[in-house]
Amino acid sequence: MSPNPCQPSGKQPPASASQHSPQDAARQSNPLPGVKHIIAVGAGKGGVGKSTVAVNLAVGLARAGKVTGLLDGDIYGPSVPTLLALHDDVPQGTADTIFPFFTHGIKTMTIGKLVEPEKALIWRGPMAHGAFRQLALQTDWGELDYLVIDLPPGTGDVPLTLAQMLPLDGAVIVCTPQRVAQDDAVRAVRMFQQLDIPVLGVVENMSYFIGDDGREYDIFGKGGAVAMAHKLDLPVLGTIPIHTQLRANSDNGTPLKNFEGNEQLGNELMSMVRATIAAVDQHKADRPTLSIS
């Protein structure tokens, strides 16, 4: 039996010329040739603001002039319908194609608009695998500069399906400053590394709180995820504050206001966007190529 690239023991099988990573086949087949760059946004645990980061990263990329799509890959707990205010939007498509929604400057698709609201998806792994595959491959993304994929928390079926199906430029890890979040974030980093997916860097979410008085308060211990990133020799892509405006705009599905209403919040978000673009470009430049003369 061939070794499992995600074996839970933590021991990676010895490398050999005959072994291939899940990304090898994805890079060769590439079912989305119209998409230039694919970025996964992941986290080791829930509740760290992964979907909020993914949405604002996608919207920020669009504001930076990039044609951008956002795939809500969190099959069991889709947040994009709320974060982008898709409540009244009705999905359209054909027998074989799903047309993405276009809102806030980005194309997006989520299973939250393909099932009944508040319906609990009590699915085993193969059903989640099939749903994610359908969302990713049957959505008519067209030509994109970036496709951002909001993954479910943890290290389960959907990330493995993604690695086997789509060629990724890298993954962004979202983590809050607390130690308990760091522990799970490290596992997410190791998962992507085992799947041969570059880790672009870490975003420290809920890094600090900006009060109405304009002062900063380190509620969760600012810098914990930054220290984790340094320990793992990974770039820090951004430090996103807890801000009442960010919370309100997330609840109201108005992410564009995050970039316009408060200068400090907008600067932090665009700094994350620019750092992510730079990390993608750097990994692309470092990728070995074969030159035949």
Q: What is the DSSP letter of 139?
A: B
**What is residue 19's predicted lDDT score, i.e. its pLDDT?**
64
Q: What is the DSSP letter of 6?
A: T
- Name 98's Cβ contacts closer than 8 Å, sequence gap at least 6: 91, 92, 109, 114, 134, 135, 138, 139, 140
**Gap between the Cα atoms of 12 and 6, Å rounded:** 8
pLDDT tens digits for range 231-279? 999 999 999 999 889 999 999 999 999 999 789 899 999 999 999 999 9
pLDDT tens digits for range 163-202? 999 999 999 999 999 988 999 999 999 999 999 999 999 9
Domains with residue ranges and CATH for the chain = 33-285 (3.40.50.300)
**What pTM, to 2 d.p., does this model score?**
0.89
CA angle 118, 120, 122 (to 5 degrees): 170
CA distances from 219 to 79, 119, 216, 242, 257 (A): 25, 34, 9, 9, 24
Q: What are phi and psi of 276, to 5 degrees?
A: -70, -45
